[in-house]
Amino acid sequence: MQNVLSVHQVSKTYGDRVLFENATFGIGEGQKMALIGLNGSGKSTMMRLLMGNDSPDSGEISFRRDAKILYLEQEPEFDPNRTVEQELYYSDHPGLQALLKYQQKIAGNISPQEMTDLLDELDRTQGWEAEALMKQVVSKFGITELHQKMGTLSGGQKKRVALAKVLLEQPDLLLLDEPTNHLDLESIEYLEHVLSASRMAVFMITHDRYFLDRVCNELLELDGSQIKSYKGNYAYYLEKKQELEAISAAEQEKLKNTFRKELEWMRRQPKARTTKSKSRIDAFSELKSRIVNKKQQEIDLAFKSNHLGGKIMEFRNIFKSIASKNLIEDFTYVFKKKDRVGIVGKNGMGKTTLLNLALEKIKPDQGRVIHGETLKIGYFSQDGLEFNPDQKVIDVIRDVADVIELANGKTLSASQLLTQFFFPPPRQQVFVRKLSGGERKRLNLVQVLMQNPNFLIFDEPTNDLDIMTLGVLEDFLEAFAGCVMIVSHDRYFLDRLVEHLFVFEGNGVIQDFPGNYSQYREYAELKQESEEEEKQKKSQAPAVAEVELPKETPAPTKRKLSYKEQRELEEINQKMADLEKELKDLTEKISSGETDFEKITSWSTRIGEVELEQLTLMERWMELQVD
């Protein structure tokens, strides 16, 4: 079968940097492929080459002659005077064209024969199916104002319209650049479902690891200037990557042994060197350069955070409306030490508003936000900070601090921290103007961490950060001694880091759920199934005579929790967080390579006990929520 896309021996250099060399790969019909790699490594350049917006230095890129190719860029542009509906209908899809013609014709006078011809055309081009798909797509992506002008939409709204449009067009090959940015969690899960079930071939750049795992069947990694192929999903990639690193580690150990022997020989030699000695010295230098400095790679990123006092931050009976829309209603929460809170909900429900209240950028309509005296917030926003383009990377961080103290008493220099976040010393001397968008985002992250806060607030931190940087950030946050509050659509990120969620349910309601995102989704699905079963039972129940109640009979009201029950709910939330941490620790112990059978048996038994305790607590938690 002929490839939809073929890339053969393609090379590209940017300035003095070789981005990729002799890159070769192909995408067949229905294949789902992703390109991953560090920010600034050349992923976006490869996408521009595929779109024809740039040319390779050498090599060839070709498409199947009859293939329909569509590209969804990160910041799509539209005719500002078209409505959302017009933009969706103006398409190359014959079914949508037939629908548009049908709608225009029936608005005026139309003969019976013309109506028959239109209906035949709709049947032939599958227009009704296209209309049904459109209704489903706009609903799932939260596109509600179809008559709104494109020029009045936000960047996120435009992205969702663009995504709906390319899905409706059903191309042979769809090129996606960070498709999950600006989408809420439900929209991402719907997009996963559509792409997985589609016959379209897909080539994408994304950092969303669950998305990669559930959609893609091949990953390309841009490592150095080489593209490596992994024939499987993200889990397969991790497995193979680990195997390769194990081999590399063994090779490094051999190199170190050789290095030690060579070093002893070098120290024994007299100052005068023979020609033979000179060649061995050169070989020694080459060997030294090949050895990876593992100590530098494995620096413990546990910072010595500023002390947090007994009072950290409190939301007390917060109310907030914007433009007459009720976003937060009577919300109270007292932060405890090492709180890890994820914030989820549909777009526009008030998630960022809660962060702005915490940052004291805005004030509540009612209630109070209280900051403890020792609170020092580090804020990483979607927009990032403005940098001086003529400043070097290292100087941006040194303007914050030269060194930062670690929990073990040692210090970490600005240069060492940059190296940990994939800015090696040569890259630290580059001017900011030469960085890619993703590299600037990464630099902003290092800038925030270098301030050594004790309370970190993240607003969509995973947008535009590569997978490798996210891994380092997650390691840092797991060791972080302060509090963390995260608005994110990245389910992997939330699952790994948070212990409970603030779930924005709409109309100002915020639910405090004790668990991570996957646990919440499981709970929500079970709750929905239970409600549907209850509705079905009621619909099948025998009819009973209606009894008219006296008009003065009051309507039933939802019972508020007593003080004792409220305390019980708080204790359950804390206990759930403790059990989740214990479960994580036990799992890590079992995966550590321990060979003592008794220890492994003990840990496995305890895992079963913990899971049973979690189930019991969850049942009681649901009872209190229902009440």
Nearest-angstrom CA–CA distance, 574 and 521: 20
Closest CA to 198 of 209, 206, 187, 190: 190
Give 49-56 contacts, CB < 8 A, sequence gap 24+: 49/10, 49/12, 50/5, 50/7, 50/175, 50/203, 51/175, 54/12, 56/10, 56/11, 56/12
Question: 332 with 369: CB under 8 angstroms?
Answer: no
pLDDT digits (tens, 9 = 90+) for 523-580: 888 888 888 888 887 777 665 444 444 444 444 444 566 767 777 888 888 888 888 8
| Surface-to-core class of residue 253, CB atoms within 10 Å of its CB (0-12 exposed, 13-18 middle, 19+ buried) | exposed
Burial of residue 619, with CB atoms counted within 10 A of its CB: 0-12 exposed, 13-18 middle, 19 or more buried = exposed
Residue 596, pLDDT score: 64
Fill in the DSSP letter of residue 53. Answer: S
Q: Which of 174, 173, 171, 191 is nearest to 182 (CA)?
A: 191
For helices 94-106 and 112-124, what crossing angle results, to 10°?
A: 160
Per DSSP bridges, beta strands 340-345 and 483-487 are parallel
Residue 411 confidence (pLDDT): 86
CA torsion 489→493→497→499, rounded to 10°? 40
End-to-end CA distance of the chain: 60
The stretches in the chain having pLDDT less than 70 are 1, 252, 255-256, 258-302, 305, 541-561, 563, 590-598, 600-601, 604, 608, 615, 619, 625-627
* 318 SS3 class: strand
Give the single-character DSSP code of 204.
E
pLDDT at residue 121, as a whole number: 87
Nearest by Cα to 150 from 160, 141, 136: 160
In 3D, which of 155, 171, 160, 226 has the Cα closest to residue 203? 171
- Tokens representing 12 are 């590209």
- Do 504 and 349 contact (CB within 8 A), yes or no? yes
DSSP state of 431: B
Residue closest to 406 by CA, chosen among 396, 393, 416: 416
Amino acid present at 364: P
pLDDT at residue 541, as a whole number: 62
pLDDT on residue 339:
93
Cβ-proximal residues to 362 (8 Å cutoff; 6+ apart), any chain: 320, 353, 356
In the three-class reduction of DSSP (H, G, I as helix; E, B as strand; rest coil), residue 429 is classed as coil
Give the per-residue pLDDT at 254.
72
Torsion sign (Cα): 431, 435, 438, 439: negative
In one-letter notation, the amino acid at residue 340 is R
| Neighbour count for residue 248 (Cβ, 10 Å) | 11
**pLDDT of the residue at 552:** 44
User: Which among 423, 425, 478 has a CA at the least distance from the CA of 445?
Assistant: 423
Phi, psi of 514 (to 5 degrees): -85, 85
For the whole model, what pTM was predicted?
A: 0.74
Q: In DSSP terms, which residues pair with 23 in a beta bridge?
A: 10
What is d(CA 599, CA 385) in angstroms, rounded to the nearest whole number?
Answer: 49
The answer to whether the CB of 64 falls within 8 A of the CB of 2 is yes
DSSP 322-344: ETTEEEEEEEEEE--TT-EEEEE
Q: What is the average pLDDT score of the chain?
A: 84
Determine contact, residues 10/47, Cβ cutoff 8 Å. no
Is 537 exposed, middle or buried, given 0-12, 13-18 or 19+ CB atoms closer than 10 A?
exposed
pLDDT at 263: 64
Residue type at 229? Answer: S
Find the helix packing angle between 127-140 and 94-106, rounded to 10°: 100
Domains and CATH numbers, the chain: 238-292 (no CATH), 313-519 (3.40.50.300), 561-627 (1.10.287)
3-state secondary structure of 620: helix
Say which amino acid occupies 299: I
DSSP for 104-120, written as a single string: HHHTS---HHHHHHHHH
Specify whether the CB–CB gap between 625 and 560 falls below 8 A: no
Which residues sit opposite 2 in a β-bridge?
none
Amino acid at 284: F
Per-residue HEC secondary structure of 342-398 comes to EEEECCCCCHHHHHHHHCCCCCCCEEEEEECCCCCEEEECCCCCCCCCCCEHHHHHH
Rounded CA gap, 185 and 489, in Å?
Answer: 5
Task: Count the neighbouring beta carbons within 10 Å of the beta carbon of residue 180.
Answer: 25
- Reported as half-sphere exposure (CB side, CA atoms, 13 A), residue 217 has a value of 12
Report how far residue 233's alpha carbon sits from residue 218's, in angstroms, rounded to the nearest whole number: 6
Asked if 485 contacts 458 with a C-beta cutoff of 8 angstroms, the reply is yes
pLDDT of the residue at 294: 43
Reduced to 3 states (helix: H, G, I; strand: E, B; else coil), residue 36 is strand
Rounded distance between C-alpha atoms, residue 21 and residue 366, angstroms: 60
Residue 99 CB: number of other CB atoms within 10 A? 22
627/100 Cα distance (integer angstroms): 50
